A and B are shown apart, each in its own frame.
Chain A
């Protein structure tokens, strides 16, 4: 199994632009999580899905952030419009049981 796949691995964009991060979970996993990691705030859970349905989005910082999971093998996290304070590493993780498997992350830089 290839593990959790994320794209792009690096994204540099200008303030105000729309950013879309993509994630493919491990096949057969029914939970998908989006995390954000920064030096200041550490690892934060943004939102998670179960069987493609959003269960808890209380960690989504504001309305500029949205996430979708149209099918069991694909999820997106969108930021529109992006701001410099959104610069971070965004991880996607999936699980079938308690253990969460993280993807390689997307390093987002907003200038």
Chain B
């Protein structure tokens, strides 16, 4: 089955700096890679996703890049703000359009310091 590794496990940045979280996956059949943000005591929420037919996707201060050959993808957050502090999870699956069996990474605790 799929195995997703995520690094780092914790990340501390100064407000305004950039943050980068990296994930690798094992199953070359995976083609859908979402990122979820989970604030303390809250539910995971999708913040951005990418499919294997593109190499990069941006949404305001958030971007995700994908290297299919190397089987890794990354989340980039620019101009970090205190409200970006949360745990971020990457995931991988085959995109069936609905019943995506997501395999999650172990999470990255991001702390944005004032």
- A interface, CB within 8 angstroms of B: 30-31, 42-45, 48, 50, 55-56, 91, 95-100, 102-105
Q: Across the interface, do A31 and B101 meet the contact criterion of CB distance under 8 Å?
A: no
A95:B98 contact, CB within 8 angstroms: yes
Per-residue CB contact flags for chain B residues 87-106 toward chain A (1 = under 8 Å, else 0) read: 00100000101111111111
Size of the chain B interface, CB-CB below 8 angstroms: 21
B positions within 8 Å CB-CB of A:
32, 34, 42-46, 49, 89, 95, 97-107
**Contact (A98, B100) CB under 8 Å given A42-B107, A43-B89:** yes
Query: From residue A105, how far is it (CB to closest CB) to chain B in Å?
Result: 6
Assuming A98-B32, A98-B95, A103-B43, is B49 touching A45 (CB within 8 A)? Answer: no
A56 proximity list for chain B (CB < 8 A): 101
Q: Say yes or no: B43 contacts A55, CB within 8 Å.
A: no
- CB <8 Å contact, B46 and A100: yes
Q: Are B101 and A45 in contact (CB under 8 A)?
A: yes
Q: Beyond A42-B104, A100-B102, A102-B43: 7 further Cβ-contacts under 8 Å? A: A42-B89, A42-B106, A43-B44, A43-B104, A98-B49, A98-B98, A98-B100
